[in-house]
Amino acid sequence: MKSNTILLILSFVFTLGVKQAFAQPEVLNGPQIQFEKESHDYGTIENGANGDCVFTFKNTGNAPLILENVKGSCSCTVPNWTTEPILPGKTGQITVHYATTNTGSINKSVTITSNAVNESVKVVRIKGNVLPAKETAVESTPVVTN
């Protein structure tokens, strides 16, 4: 009796393993979003430097991809994005402008909401460090007294 039970269990485990080994990956129907990069590192930059970076994405699905909303985590992080539908196989861009007059560490996020079936909400990040503004030397004019 014990050997039959063990045989039955082993048979079940083997059958389950074979099914998983030959299972086809699930195919998602609809638009899918895939980013070239999910973060941008400005490194250390000068105060007032160009704070623009671009996130490029591709629709790897089989239906038009629509970005419904793209929102920065604060008012210093302003995104602009492709507003027309992105056809399958085509790319779009999100340009993020960071206000580099804000001195110090950058650690911000941009949240993308779309009709993508693989990730309807996606977060990309920007990071870096903005140096303090340089003080400009004020030329002094000699004072003449009579």
CATH number at 33-130 = 2.60.40.10
What is the chain's pLDDT, residue by residue, as a tens digit (146 residues)? 555 556 555 555 555 554 555 555 556 799 999 999 999 999 999 999 999 999 999 999 999 999 999 999 999 999 999 899 999 999 999 999 999 999 999 999 999 999 999 999 999 999 999 999 986 555 555 666 66
Token digits of residue 82: 């492709």
| Domain map (residue ranges) of the chain | 33-130
Close Cβ partners of 114 (under 8 Å, ≥ 6 residues apart): 31, 33, 65, 66, 67, 68, 120, 122
